[in-house]
Amino acid sequence: MSTTTIDWRREIEDAAQRLHARAGHFLLQTPLWKLPASAVGLVAPGAEVWLKLEHLQVSGSFKARGMMNRLLANDIPASGVVVASGGNAGIATAAAARALGVRCEVFLPGVSPEAKRARLRDLGAEVVVVGEIYPDALAACIARQKETGALLTHAYDQREVVAGAGTLGREIEAQGGLPDSVLVSVGGGGLIGGLAAWFEQRSRVVAIEPEHAPTLFRAREAGEPVDVQVGGIAADSLGAKRIGALSWDITQRQVRDALLLPDDAIRAAQRWLWKEMKLAVEPAAALPLAALQTGAYRVRDGERVCLIVCGANVDPAMVG
């Protein structure tokens, strides 16, 4: 089936029903904080900043939705599941596998922090560290899947994974109504793909990327997905070398804006979230706030802007 013929709204509704029926014990409905814009230092009369605290999800990130949906939608062989990840998708897959009682093998790049490796081991996953960046781990993971026949769970470029991420948008709308805009960090694109597929043109979905990991931004410049050099402080969670094909298709139709931010602004927002809100999150989760605080995205008077606080799998020493 062509990606342009997928009924994404139906896929997301199906994912939500599947997750509710079979994984209600595993997934949380995470809080949605509605704050006046002044609470994050902005001058925009009547504007609200919504913080969707998805970092409080059971596996520490939004990835729990897509990974569990992938596992529930497929038969899992005796060899279990295998995934390549910068950390968060692996943690979510391992947590879902443990909940379902199946084996899990996770391939990580060298850039992955020890905190995420330790979390994976605690979840009972077999951890294999390969190469330096995510594409190295992905190549090794695909080779391993061919050997074992395990169910391959992709970190961001599978239909069930994107649809699972889209249930986050559905939840936001059910909790708080329709925001005017949604700011979301981008790596491989699974999260923005799912959110844009749900909100379509009803809300303005804005892609936020680090300058050193600009998968969507560079694809837009080239007119097609291209490989990019990956580095910087968010490389462990936003370290995909190329935007996923599914999300490329969705964002081409549904996302107008893609913004780049420097590492120092991302780090400042991460530290602000800890100092002012006591939210210990990873750099990827701080990108939307950094976009507001730097003025890269300017909030209009009366606007309701939702920031996706996407993950908290971080060494606590790094947020102070």
Residue pLDDT, tens place only, 42-59:
999 999 999 999 999 988
pLDDT of the residue at 87: 80
Residue 315 has pLDDT above 80, yes or no: no
The rounded distance, in Å, linking the Cα atoms of 25 and 101 is: 14
- DSSP β-bridge partners for residue 182: 205, 306
The rounded distance, in Å, linking the Cα atoms of 232 and 229 is: 10
Structure tokens at 30: 């995470």
**Domain limits, the chain:** 3-10+22-61+165-318, 63-153
State the chain's mean pLDDT as an integer: 94
Q: Report the candidate in 255, 204, 198 with the shortest Cα–Cα distance to residue 12.
A: 198
pLDDT of the residue at 1: 41
Class of domain 63-153: alpha beta
User: Tens of pLDDT along 125-140?
Assistant: 999 999 988 889 999 9
Please, are residues 276 and 292 in contact by the beta-carbon 8 Å criterion? no
Fold category of 3-10+22-61+165-318 in CATH: Rossmann fold (3.40.50)
Please, are residues 19 and 164 in contact by the beta-carbon 8 Å criterion? yes
Please, are residues 45 and 38 in contact by the beta-carbon 8 Å criterion? no
The structure's pTM equals 0.94
- Once rounded to an integer, what is the mean pLDDT over residues 26-38? 96
- Domain pair 3-10+22-61+165-318 / 63-153, same fold: yes
The rounded distance, in Å, linking the Cα atoms of 36 and 51 is: 11
User: Tens of pLDDT along 153-203?
Assistant: 999 999 999 999 999 999 999 999 999 999 999 999 999 999 999 999 999
Residue 205 Cα distances to 35, 42, 283, 301, angstroms: 19, 20, 20, 18
